[in-house]
Copies of this chain bind each other. A is one copy, B any other.
Amino acid sequence: MQIKRAKNYGFCFGVRRAIELAQNHPNSKTLGPLIHNPEEIQRLKNDYNVDVAQNLLDALDGDTVIIRTHGVTQETLHSLEQSNKNIVNATCPFVTKPQEICANMSNKGYDIVIYGDIHHPEVQGVMSYSVTKTAVVLSSYELCKHRLGQKVAIISQTTRNIEGFLEIVNALVRQHKEVAVFNTICNATFDNQDAADELSKEADVMLVIGGKNSSNTKQLLEICKKNCPDSYLIETEDELEDVWFADKTLCGVTAGASTPNWIIDNVTKKLEKLNLMKGCL
């Protein structure tokens, strides 16, 4: 059985950068879990003594505090800056950008529309930079709840899809004289999805490695299942079952955006062992 990884999988640029920053700052605390992967959090704790602070009170004066990829609200950033903590800002540059756009356009008097989930920390961070009316919506239907002015600027949560974004843009253009559209969608998620789609068409068994409660991992599984019914979601190599690979010729491997490479490597090593065992039968 051949084992083949998708063209794009796993960590995006922003997550890789945040983990490198954490490794470069041992004995520090991240403000909330750095990524949605308990194994990686544990590794950073074991190997670098990088711990998780649930909130600002969990960090003491003199501590080094790492801001995670999602970013924080302007208020949290100010509190951190005014305290005696060392700040390592691991906010993804693709998230800093919508924060800056939000501040800039809002200061120019534009009302702000954010396509995203109001409960997501990234969105809460971005919207904290607005000084004008701000609508956070997931569909154009929700716009009716907001009374926005004639000049609006729209930005997107980085992980949203373009179709949903355009649906809201179109509704705004029909209603408003001026709509400044900033396409702040990051392609990393979609690059992983496109590659999973491509590989699962070719493979007769697919492994999707990632957290079982991670929404982007579950999306990958759905995409793979459409093309390859024998697709399985696993968190670690311990969940692999021999029967999945009987009579299979090509095992495709992809991984969610929060899955570190070492977990993927462990899975493929185990697959290679299974291959050897099959050869001995």
Contact = CB atoms under 8 A, between A and B. Distances in A.
Interface in A229-265: none
Interface in A163-221: 165-166, 169-170, 173-174, 176-183
A99 B170 CA distance: 23
Given A173-B181, A177-B182, 13 more contacts: A162-B173, A165-B173, A166-B174, A169-B169, A169-B173, A170-B170, A174-B183, A177-B183, A178-B181, A178-B182, A179-B180, A180-B180, A181-B181
Contacts of A166: 170, 173-174
Contacts of A180: 178-181
The range of chain A's interface size is 10 to 19
Contacts of A170: 166, 169-170
20 contacts: A162-B173, A165-B173, A166-B173, A166-B174, A169-B170, A169-B173, A170-B170, A173-B181, A173-B183, A174-B183, A176-B183, A177-B182, A178-B180, A178-B181, A178-B182, A178-B183, A179-B181, A179-B183, A180-B180, A181-B181
Interface of A: 162, 165-166, 169-170, 173-174, 176-183
Contacts of A181: 169, 173, 178-181
A157 to B, nearest CB: 15
A95 to B, nearest CB: 15
Copies in the complex: 2
A182 B179 CA distance: 6
Contacts of A183: 173-174, 176-179
Nearest to A176: B183
* Listed residue (A162, A173, A176, A178) with the most chain B CB atoms within 10 angstroms of its CB: A173
Q: Across chains A and B, which 6 residue pairs bring their CB atoms closest together, nearest first?
A: A179-B181, A166-B170, A180-B180, A173-B181, A173-B183, A178-B182
A214 B88 CA distance: 66
